Structure 1
Amino acid sequence: MRRRLLIVGLVVAAAIAACWLILRRDPIPYETLEARYGREASKFLTLENGLIVHMTDEGPPDGPVVILLHGFASSWATWDAWADGLADEYRVLRFDLPGHGLTRVLSDTDLSTEGLVTFVDDVADELGLQQFTLAGSSMGGHTAWRFALAHPERLDALILVAAAGLPEADAGEEPPVVFQMIENPFVRPIIKDLDVSPLIRDGLMSSFVDPEFVTNQMVREYADLARAPGHRAALIALATRDRTDAAAFEARLSEISVPVLVLHGREDKIVPPGFANRYGEQIPNSEVIFYDQIGHLPQEEAAAQSLADAKAFLINALVSDESEVPETAIDDVNMAETEPLD
């Protein structure tokens, strides 16, 4: 009996090893990824610590500055619709966070929330920015509101799109399989080197209500960029960050004094929609807008509506005298006829 169990165990181990070898994927060099996914608007900024940042800088150089921060495992491409719509009147900056997209990650890169806040501050310093509006999606939203607490003097306004970072008092749906596997300490080291395209597809399908948004090209791009040198380890580190200070920072939300717009899809399976209400209740000068039948990425799935809401908010938040607002901006907002959904 023992001999049989031993043989079965060896067979299973051999099968697992064979699967690992079949599914194992080597890192993709940055040069290859830049040729494949870089764009005409792509720029590369090198910070003082040597970190190379992939970014775009669009719109009038002297316009009000809006910085757009993407979420976990994403890239600045998630903001394509917003960037196109805002660049007529605003200087729009997008950059991939460390370990994402085409931005590098160093062996000593601080991937804590404080580290991401410092990264945003360092990029702003390198670009010579004094004040700006910060908009963030999911993990980028968490970074954005923590930036508002750390550097209130630098912000004109804040836009939180399905922003993460609060204690999980609102129990959402079961997270996508990829998050469950990353959180498992036994599985985590194994999947770090594997082809996780099926898991990425599952995560993306959970992010949208309309499955048509999840294309084969989107899955491939997410999977390829995750295979940039150091990115898979960085993503695992980000997904398993210590969150014991979440309640303490939520208690400080009332300190945020700039105008804040909170946008959230009612069908979000990644960040509970209840988070939006909590931001709205605790941040003094805030407005909350929900989108029916929209998931975790309103900037993509409800691009036109969320962009119109952002434009209307920016006009009110950044300009005290309406006569200073470009007529084109006012016309765009009027034509959208946006109303908060609640």
Structure 2
Amino acid sequence: MTLPRIRLLAIPAAILAASVSPVAMAQDAARNPASSQATAAHPYLTIEELRRKYADAQSRYAEIGGLKIHYKDEGPRNAPVLFMVHGSESSLRTWDRIALALKKRYRIVRYDIPGYGLSDGATDAAVKALQPTDIPVQLLTRLGVSKVTFVGVSSGGTMGMYLAARRPDLVERLILSNTPSDPVDTSHLVMPKSFTDAVDRSKQTGFRDQAFWNEFLSYFAGDATRISQQTRREYYDFYRRVPEKNLVALVARIGDGKQASVEMAKVRQPTFLIWGGADHLLPESAANAIARYLKSTQISRVIMPDVGHYPPLEVPERFAQLLAAYVEAGTPNLPAQADH
């Protein structure tokens, strides 16, 4: 089955669109190439510089649709596969601490969506040739993986729902965290002045500085002290990448929700919602909404009232425990797990 090209909306990108549009920045760079070069005010990093700084011994690359896709494949090859996908404005590093906790008992595969992390940005040719779910399908095929538990946060979870609808043979179950199911409304958000000042500054300068990312991560956390200084520095580094023309082209997005609702209704796989109830943008009511759209599935859920939009980033140990409990004990009639 070929999945229709669906325009799905990535969550915090709604906030960022109100400040600086990466597409507009890229269009400006195309008109004036010098504007995309690193300067004192706009210290951009190229993808090559980011790879030199952040690639590690587990980094691998696969060429898909003419794009160099960064991924990691860790853990026993005969173990059940957890396939983890990050959201917009994130990278596969979202899953670092969860992978560390679980990779002795699971095979963990994760990748950077094109334009994010250490993957190439989507070219015009790739946008024409690929839809978002093509990347995970082709990557898993190359790795010889035929069955996964899909784990996604934010728009990464949206990717999972569409992959489950497209390839029910491939996706055994879904674990979704703070994932949208409706077009995202930001009108209710009340941001602190420090954040609105950072947004205004990014509008004026066309650049999101370290202070912006500090405010962003703090605002979307239930407890800002849980977000480490290392994570804050990494966000700044990854998102001062030279602007991409097609940044969100291969991100799973909800769009107007019409086709999204059709695809979600096709999902049959058991689904576990691990939800941050202190998410300003997608609170518990959003978890109730996604359960209504996934009307043909067996839904389980845990709401963590003290956690924000990025549970795997904010409380990775709790997330890993819940994930493993669901896979190993919460879902019936599944293959035996690998030895711990």
State the TM-score, normalized to the length of structure 2. 0.75
Map of 1:108 onto structure 2: 124
1:128/1:230 Cα in 2 relative to 1: closer, same or farther (>3 Å)? Answer: farther
1:200/1:303 Cα in 2 relative to 1: closer, same or farther (>3 Å)? Answer: same
Map 1:303-342 to 2 at 5 A: 303-316=316-329, 320=333, 324-325=336-337, 328=340
Map of 1:17 onto structure 2: none
| Cα offsets for 1:198-254 (capped at 9, x unmatched) | 2222211112122223344323321221233444x444768997812x144225433
Distance 1:174 1:251 in 2: 32
SS at match of 1:88: coil
Map of 1:33 onto structure 2: 50
1:291/1:33 Cα in 2 relative to 1: closer, same or farther (>3 Å)? Answer: same
Distance 1:252 1:128 in 2: 26
1:317/1:103 Cα in 2 relative to 1: closer, same or farther (>3 Å)? Answer: farther
Distance 1:31 1:83 in 2: 25
Map 1:12-161 to 2 at 5 A: 24-47=41-64, 49-108=65-124, 115-161=131-177
- Tell whether the 8 Å contact from 2:46 to 2:241 is kept in structure 1 after alignment: yes
Bigger share in helix? 1
| Cα offsets for 1:311-331 (capped at 9, x unmatched) | 111124676278x34564xxx
1:235/1:107 Cα in 2 relative to 1: closer, same or farther (>3 Å)? Answer: closer
Q: CA deviation at 1:179?
A: 11
Distance 1:248 1:30 in 2: 34
- Tell whether the 8 Å contact from 2:79 to 2:107 is kept in structure 1 after alignment: yes
Which one is further off, 246-255 or 35-44?
Answer: 246-255
Q: Select 2:180's aligned residue among 154, 161, 164.
A: 164
Distance 2:334 2:158 in 1: 31
Map of 1:267 onto structure 2: 278
Distance 1:59 1:172 in 2: 42
| Alignment partner of 1:206 is 2:223 | no
Structure 2 counterpart of 1:305, one-letter code: R
- Tell whether the 8 Å contact from 1:177 to 1:199 is kept in structure 2 after alignment: no
SS at match of 2:290: helix
Distance 1:195 1:152 in 2: 39
SS at match of 2:69: strand
Q: Which has more radius of gyration?
A: 1
1:242/1:276 Cα in 2 relative to 1: closer, same or farther (>3 Å)? Answer: closer
Q: CA deviation at 1:287?
A: 0.6
Map of 1:332 onto structure 2: none
Distance 2:300 2:56 in 1: 34
1:326/1:32 Cα in 2 relative to 1: closer, same or farther (>3 Å)? Answer: closer
Structure 1 counterpart of 2:47, one-letter code: Y
1:321/1:141 Cα in 2 relative to 1: closer, same or farther (>3 Å)? Answer: closer
For structure 2, the 5+ residue unaligned runs are 1-37
Higher relative contact order (CA 8 A, sep 6+): 2
State the TM-score, normalized to the length of structure 1. 0.75
Q: CA deviation at 1:36?
A: 1.8
Map of 1:289 onto structure 2: 302
1:179/1:222 Cα in 2 relative to 1: closer, same or farther (>3 Å)? Answer: same
Over aligned residues, Cα RMSD in angstroms?
A: 3.5
Residue identity over aligned pairs, in percent, reads 23
| Alignment partner of 1:300 is 2:313 | yes
Distance 2:92 2:259 in 1: 29
